[in-house]
Amino acid sequence: MGPARSLLVSHNTSPPAASTKPLSAVTVRDLRLTYSRRLPPVIDGVNMTVPVGSIYGLLGASGCGKTSLLKCLVGLSKPDSGSVLIFGQRLHQGLVPGPGVGFMPQELALHPDFTVAENMYFFGQLRGMPIEKIYERISFLCTFFQLLPADRFVEHL
């Protein structure tokens, strides 16, 4: 995957406690976002549903609004109108997307002088994960995303 791709990942973790389990991890309805009144909207009328437990990729041309949409999904940008629900709850209700939803922005750069495993280890440490859990996740993710051997430098992927 190149840096121009944004990816929203919902993996099998428990959503926030609720009386009934939502059917979707992410629900977007009629989302609209503008950065300036003088320019056309960056996002206009977007609707999407990401089922719980799924992996969802968002692909498109440069400048089409992928990153802007994802920033709305995780609460980094406030849309002009429409709704965003994460596990059935609005973000403004104090909900942080949490462990059930991951966001990999295109601005996040991997360290080119690190191997695949070293990059994953670095970010695991930043998140405060126990070392054993970091190694477990590296093994799982490298297998799942077919990144083996993990001792390759990321610039060679």
The secondary structure of 85-120 as a DSSP string is EETTEEGGGT---GGGEEEE-TTPPP-TTSBHHHHH
The neighbour count for residue 98, using CB atoms within 10 Å, is 13
Calpha distance 54→52 (Å, rounded)? 6
Listed in sequence order, the residues at least 6 apart from 134 whose beta carbon sits closer than 8 Å to its beta carbon are 120, 121, 124, 125
Listed in sequence order, the residues at least 6 apart from 46 whose beta carbon sits closer than 8 Å to its beta carbon are 28, 30, 31, 32, 65, 69, 82
Q: Quick one: pLDDT at residue 96?
A: 53
pTM for the full predicted model = 0.53
Mean per-residue pLDDT for 27-33? Answer: 96
Write out pLDDT tens, residues 61-110. 888 998 889 888 877 788 999 999 888 888 655 555 555 566 665 555 67
The pLDDT confidence band at residue 6, using thresholds 50, 70 and 90, is very low
Task: Report the run of H or E that residue 27 belongs to, with start and end.
Answer: strand 24-33
Q: Quick one: pLDDT at residue 12?
A: 41
58 neighbors 73 (Cβ within 8 angstroms)? no
- Of 151, 96, 157, the C-alpha closest to 121 is 151
- Mean pLDDT over all residues of the chain? 78
Residue 19 structure tokens: 């009386």
Write out pLDDT tens, residues 106-132. 555 677 778 899 888 887 887 778 999
Q: Which domains does the chain have, with CATH numbers?
A: 6-104 (3.40.50.300), 116-156 (no CATH)
Q: Quick one: pLDDT at residue 148?
A: 85
The answer, yes or no, to whether residue 144 has pLDDT greater than 50, is yes
- φ, ψ at 115 (rounded to 5°): -80, 175
